Amino acid sequence: MFDCIDHPAKTGSLLKGGLLAAVIVVSSVFGNLVFSEVSAAVPSDAAAGIQSRKDHFKELEDALRAIRRELGKPNPDLTTMRDRSKRVGALASQLPTWFPVGTGPESGFDTEAEASIWQQPAEFHRVAQVLADQAALLDAASAQGDVPAIRQKLHDVGGSCQSCHDRFRNDSWW
């Protein structure tokens, strides 16, 4: 990435006028030191992180509703339920990464996330893991094409969602 660091012959023009030093100083002042490794899970600003979280939850909700719609039909489309169950499983396993530090109520942005997510991370991760486990069971039932089991596992996933919301979501609307 930075060939000039490994090859002194290439640094001559880059260092003229102190350009490299200026880049390092400006970058470090803004918290993005060029040579530091930044996690992709941490958004550059709280608003973007919160919006990303909301988008993920919308996608999860849409997938669950698609399964529920199929289950309401006389002949549910197993392919749709399999595809959506896989997506639910993938999203559920990522859920803890949707809550990077700085995207809670302290950010000042509109979020229903309770501060307890960051205050009790072990409990939050435990509850999120229950959801991921239930989603994996839903995926397994869908892969087998077992409609009664899919119905039960969808109910179990919903219970996992509710359990998390009861502990970690501010649902007040007033």
Domain of 146, CATH number, reads 1.20.120.10
- Same domain membership, residue 152 and residue 79: yes
Instruction: Extract the tokens encoding 59.
Output: 């996608």
Rounded CA gap, 60 and 89, in Å?
A: 9
Cα 98 to Cα 16, 20, 42, 55, 116: the distances in Å are: 43, 35, 9, 10, 15
What SS3 class is residue 113? strand
Contact by Cβ (8 Å): 100, 43: yes
For 114, the domain range is 46-168
Asked if the model's pLDDT at residue 116 lies above 80, the reply is yes
Name the pLDDT band for 46 (thresholds 50, 70, 90): very high
Q: Which pLDDT value is given to residue 35?
A: 30
Contact by Cβ (8 Å): 112, 166: no
Q: Which pLDDT value is given to residue 131?
A: 97
- Same domain membership, residue 15 and residue 56: no
- Same domain membership, residue 109 and residue 134: yes
The residue that leads in pLDDT, 56 or 171, is: 56
Decide if 173 is inside a domain.
Answer: no
| Spacing of C-alpha 118 from chain mean position | 15
Cα 7 to Cα 1, 12, 25, 136: the distances in Å are: 12, 10, 22, 50
- Same domain membership, residue 50 and residue 120: yes
Decide if 99 is inside a domain.
Answer: yes
Domain count, the chain: 2
Decide if 174 is inside a domain.
Answer: no
Contact by Cβ (8 Å): 114, 170: yes
Decide if 89 is inside a domain.
Answer: yes
Q: What is the pTM of this model?
A: 0.72
- Same domain membership, residue 89 and residue 11: no
Average pLDDT of the chain is: 81
Rounded CA gap, 117 and 123, in Å?
A: 8
Name the pLDDT band for 171 (thresholds 50, 70, 90): confident
The residue that leads in pLDDT, 142 or 31, is: 142
Decide if 155 is inside a domain.
Answer: yes
Which of 86, 87, 85, 111 shows the shortest CA–CA distance to 98? 111
Please give the radius of gyration of the chain, using alpha carbons only, rounded to the nearest integer.
23
- Same domain membership, residue 100 and residue 29: no
Contact by Cβ (8 Å): 95, 128: yes
Q: Which pLDDT value is given to residue 172?
A: 60
- Same domain membership, residue 58 and residue 18: no
- Same domain membership, residue 81 and residue 11: no
- Same domain membership, residue 153 and residue 80: yes
- Same domain membership, residue 142 and residue 74: yes
- Same domain membership, residue 17 and residue 103: no
- Same domain membership, residue 156 and residue 132: yes
